[in-house]
Amino acid sequence: MSLDPATIRRIASLARIRVEEHELEPLCHELNGILGWIEQLNEVDVTGVAPLTGATNMAPPGGAGHQTMAMRADVVTDGGYADKVLANAPERIGDFFAVPKVVE
């Protein structure tokens, strides 16, 4: 599997990162270098192996078996300070984040 400039353009658009035409070739080269190196994973036999999806499968305190992630009571524990939440907004209108016009 190797990336071509059209694929780079597609994933850059999925990632919402603007990539200029002249950057496509060098990016292709870099990313293919990394993906080529990653191909070594195809040597590993993963038949019947369950994927490790995250932290709860790792490091159970006190021994073997899998930890279960704790559930939290579904109650409001925080909030009520719109000014703090909006303090870092690049642009705000009243108590709202403002963005460029979406609908003409």
Partner 1 sequence: MMLTDLTIAEAREGLRAKDFSAVELTMAHLHAIEALNPRLNAYITVSHAKAVDQARAADAALAAGEARALTGIPLAIKDLFCTAGVRTTAGSKILGPFVPPYESTVTANLLRDGAVFLGKTNLDEFAMGSSNMTSAYGPVENPWKRRQDANAVLVPGGSSGGSAAAVAARLAMGATGTDTGGSIRQPASFCGLVGVKPTYGRCSRWGVVAFASSLDHPGPFSRTVRDGAILLGSMAGHDPKDSTSAPVAVPDFEAACARGVKGLRIGVPREYRSDGMPAEIDALWEQGVDWLRAAGAEIVDVSLPHTKYGLATYYIVAPAEASSNLSRYDGVRFGARETGEDLSDMYSRTRAEGFGAEVRRRVLIGTYVLSAGYYDAYYLRAQKIRALILKDFTDVFRGVDALLTPTAPSAAFAQGEKMDDPVQMYLNDLFTVPADLAGVPAASVPAGLDANGLPLGLQVIGKPFDEETVFAVSAALEQAAGFTALPAIRAGG
Binding mask 30-49 for partner 1 (x = CB under 8 A): xx-xxx-xx-xxx-x-x--x
Q: Which of 79, 80, 94, 100 binds partner 1 (CB under 8 A)?
A: 100
User: Using CA atoms, how far apart are residues 24 and 18, in angstroms rounded to an integer?
Assistant: 11
Backbone dihedral angles phi then psi of residue 2, each to the nearest 5 degrees: -135, 145
Q: Measured from the CB of residue 87, what is the shortest distance to partner 1 in angstroms?
A: 6
β 96-97/92-93 pair status: antiparallel
DSSP for residue 21: H
Position 75 contacts partner 1 (CB under 8 A)? no
Question: 62 or 94: whose CB is closer to partner 1?
Answer: 62
